[in-house]
Chain A
Amino acid sequence: MGNFGQLMDGFAVALTTHHVMIMVMGVLLGLIVGVLPGLGAPNGVSLLLPLTFTMDPISAIILLTSMYWGALFGGSTTSILFNIPGEPSSVATTFDGYPMAKQGQAVRALTLAFTSAGLGALTGVIVITLLSSWVASFAMRFGAAEYFAVYFMAFASFIGMAGGSPFKTLVSMMLGFAAATVGIDTISGESRLTFEFDELIGGISFLIAVIGLFGLGELLLTMEEGLKFEGVKAKLDIRTIARTVAEVPRYWVTLVRSALIGCWMGITPGGPTAASFMSYALGRRFSRRGKYFGKGEPEGIVAPETADHSAGSCALLPMLALGIPGSATAAVMMGGLMIWGLSPGPMLFSTRPDFVWGLIASMYMGNIIAVVLVLATVPLFAFILRAPFTVVGPMITIVCVIGAYTVANHVFDIWLALAFGIVGYVFKKLDYPLAPFVLAMVLGDKAEDAFRQAMLTSDGSPAIFFSNPLVSTMMGLGILLLCLPLITAVFKGGLFGRAGDAGAQGRSA
């Protein structure tokens, strides 16, 4: 319908030589970021963000999203070849990918992973193509109260669906809110929480937090683990690749199930990490070959990869249509949109259709380019990873320090990033989820503004949040999600019994 025509216009925007070049560059940078442990998609994208300030928004977003695809693919490469997940979301790929590679089938494992990842991503993009206009037109009826309700739902679902302790999620998220509050208040013009420090008047950029929490924090963790790369040799030959691609359709049940899980987890802010774990767990539970999972079972690679990538793509839908990011990386990209002078949300579809549809079209292209490039660069990255981490680590550190400086040309920001690095390190070791922190930092101001604007229109009566069916439904859902941990705790017996053992899902990036 209308969407299809607009998608074609989008392809016309995305398929210029300039933009294809940008995609290739973005994917390559993303591969590097994804392959290196200690650098992940969220902080890779935030390191690149300051460099895009001078670019036009379409090129900039294509660069960032291509980098995102590259990082997702790169993360799987190291999971399979070295048993080191380059990304939190590719942890589940190591369960069966590395055993298969150790059996001498590295190429088969890689091809399986990339093909299913590509299919997952395409499913995600198709979902975005079909749903985005609809979601946007639905969102056009939103006022301040409705916006607050949507934000409220997003925050509540993080607390309710997080795998770990809901209280740690709460603390992490509220710290994010507090960090977002620092600086000049947008409504009253007063400076808040600055304690007379001039450096804090401008506020704390979420980019600094991301570089510290995800970049430096992850580096400290990797350093502590004393990584030893036990690489598996990977030599590519075309026949194995072709045979494996032909093998993929046999796993269609797993593919469909995983893609559905991925799309759902991407749209609701569950994120790719949670999606890949859930898909792996469900795969082991429901597949006929479930008992072979963990020993190099093909379906054990297909399941997490498909879900990971479909969630990664779908996470961009709520960002574009509602202004709510579905993952930490999407949150960073949304920050970018605002910096480029675009306001994410339903209005974007009518004010900048070229931007939205150019972006969606570039997702189809970007993923195809990523599959080709990732296969071509496997031997190269295998070579890089032979270098000891004592060499790679300092290089990543320099990138992080420069990245923190370039956000606003303040040395003070580097110190902040170092502080966030320690926080990130401790929080990760203690299973505090970091994604809620970033989400709150990006959305905190907007949620508060929406709330206060709603209060202005209603003369201070909170009844406005239950004034029509739409907003009351959303608020109700939000409250229900908030209570979810409480309900499950009651059913499982004891609030203090199990809440402490945070599953890996809680570390969703």
Chain B
Amino acid sequence: MDISRNTMEVATACATAAVGGIVCYGATQNGIGWNDGPEPGYFPFYIGCLIIVGSLVTIVQTVLRRTSVADIFIDGERLRTVVAFFLPIMALTLVSAWLGLYVGMALYTFYAMRVSAGFRTHTALFTAAIVVAVNFVIFEKIFMVPLLKGPILEYFGIY
């Protein structure tokens, strides 16, 4: 499954145009008029309009330009690589929101070392432990920036 560059150009420009539309809509709720100077929504409204204009011109340019039709944005194999890298990051965020950043990074490191990099189980475990320890010392001890602990660490009395 290949995605052509032109498809992606148009899709992206449509997405930015949609964002522009949302910005315009949001701005109308603050008033977009001019009463001895701009109302709060005045600038956002025209910013939204410019986003839409820029996106539309990009779409027109893409459609009119025929030289690079064959360009591929990404092919199936590369897409799988990128997704396989990105999904665990989303899982990391989900777990971190629920059980705290330290638990999240430990599980994520273990997964990345064991599954993606293909190390043996105890090497992966060891790496995860080191990552957590190093981050704990850097953030909690040296810079005194507390990271999200989550219920498990709090159960053990670590705040």
Contact = CB atoms under 8 A, between A and B. Distances in A.
Contacts of A177: 43, 47
B96 A401 contact: yes
A192 B96 contact: no
A134 to B, nearest CB: 33
Given A167-B58, A452-B37, 7 more contacts: A54-B144, A188-B39, A401-B93, A402-B101, A451-B43, A455-B36, A459-B36
Task: Give the most central of B30, B39, B89, B109: most A CB within 10 Å.
Answer: B89
A9 interface: no
Interface residues on B, range: 35 or more
B147 A193 contact: no
A402 B81 contact: no
A405 B60 CA distance: 40
Contacts of B8: 426, 429-430
20 contacts: A170-B54, A174-B54, A192-B40, A193-B23, A195-B26, A226-B78, A391-B117, A401-B89, A401-B96, A406-B147, A414-B97, A415-B93, A418-B93, A429-B73, A430-B9, A432-B12, A455-B38, A460-B36, A460-B37, A500-B62
Interface residues of A, number: 62
A499 B58 CA distance: 10
Task: Give the most central of A50, A51, A459: most B CB within 10 Å.
Answer: A51
B148 interface: yes
The main secondary structure of chain B at its interface with chain A is helix
B135 interface: yes
A452 B44 CA distance: 13
Nearest to A52: B143
Interface stretch (A82-90, A311-319, A392-400): A392-400
A190 B108 contact: no
Interface of A: 50-51, 54, 165, 167-168, 170-171, 174-175, 177-178, 181, 185, 187-188, 190, 192-195, 216, 219-220, 223-224, 226, 388, 390-391, 393-395, 397-398, 401-402, 405-406, 409, 411, 414-415, 418, 421-422, 425-427, 429-430, 432, 448, 451-452, 455-456, 459-460, 496, 499-500
B61 A499 contact: yes
Contacts of B68: 500
Given A51-B145, A220-B85, A405-B101, A178 B61 contact: no
Contacts of B78: 224, 226
Given A192-B44, A224-B82, A496 B89 contact: no
B23 A178 contact: yes
Contacts of B97: 411, 414
Contacts of A415: 93
B125 interface: no
Contacts of A422: 86
A170 B50 CA distance: 8
B6 to A, nearest CB: 10
Nearest to A392: B117
B61 A496 contact: yes
A168 B54 contact: yes
Contact of A223 (B39, B44, B81): B81
A427 B86 CA distance: 17
B40 A430 contact: no
A174 B78 CA distance: 31
Contact of B16 (A175, A496, A499): A175
A379 to B, nearest CB: 23
Contacts of B64: 496
A455 B148 contact: no
B137 interface: no
A175 B5 CA distance: 22
